[in-house]
A = this chain, B = another copy of it.
Amino acid sequence: MNQVTYRLPKRKDGQKTFDHIINTAKKLFSKKGYQATSINEIIAKSGIATGTFYLYFDDKFALYSYLLTTYRKLIRKAISTGIAGASTRYEKERLGLRAFLKFAWEDPLAYRIIWESMFADQALFRDYYETFSRDYVRQLTHAVDEGEVRDDIDLETLSYILMGISNFVGLQVLFRKSLTDDDLDRITDQVMSILSSGMFRP
């Protein structure tokens, strides 16, 4: 993974400018994608001097990796807030999935930013999922030790299965026209039912 090459602002007015650049870039990436958006466009649309951009970012990739890091944190935060209070792995999976689906529904750009990172930088993309997988494995190991999760399955594979389910049921949700809290509960329950008993008849 490339080195971090962005600098966070230290003062309040700097923060305002920084946030404004980020929001402008988000809008442009959302519309045209990362690859097709140029630094000059970000600068022009932000209405800032060229030097101001480089005060915070070495290049477009630096801004992008800041965004990816931010989304990673936001997704983790949404999940950890969602699972607060859950004590079993089952409850953590259920509430974590629900929180992730809600996050995806409310901020579809997160999806695009992370998925496009495969093109922007393959190492960044890989690092994103490998880190997520390692954290998951650590949590699942604990659940195996507690006797809640089966001890005869490979936890790395299980972590990719769980990430795949979240991400693709996330797509199913994004493709919908509307999403109520009841819809969210129903979809989450379906997933949990399959995670509990499998898809086949006994």
Give chain A's interface residues, CB within 8 Å of chain B.
32-36, 89-90, 111-112, 115-116, 118-120, 126, 129-130, 133, 147-150, 152-154, 156-158, 160-161, 163-169, 171-172, 175, 186-187, 190-191, 193-201
Contacts and interface: CB of A to CB of B under 8 A. Distances in A.
A149 B193 CA distance: 13
A137 B71 CA distance: 32
A68 to B, nearest CB: 15
A-B CB proximity, top 9 nearest = A164-B168, A35-B35, A164-B164, A33-B119, A35-B36, A160-B172, A157-B190, A160-B168, A196-B198
A118 to B, nearest CB: 6
A172 to B, nearest CB: 4
B200 A153 contact: no
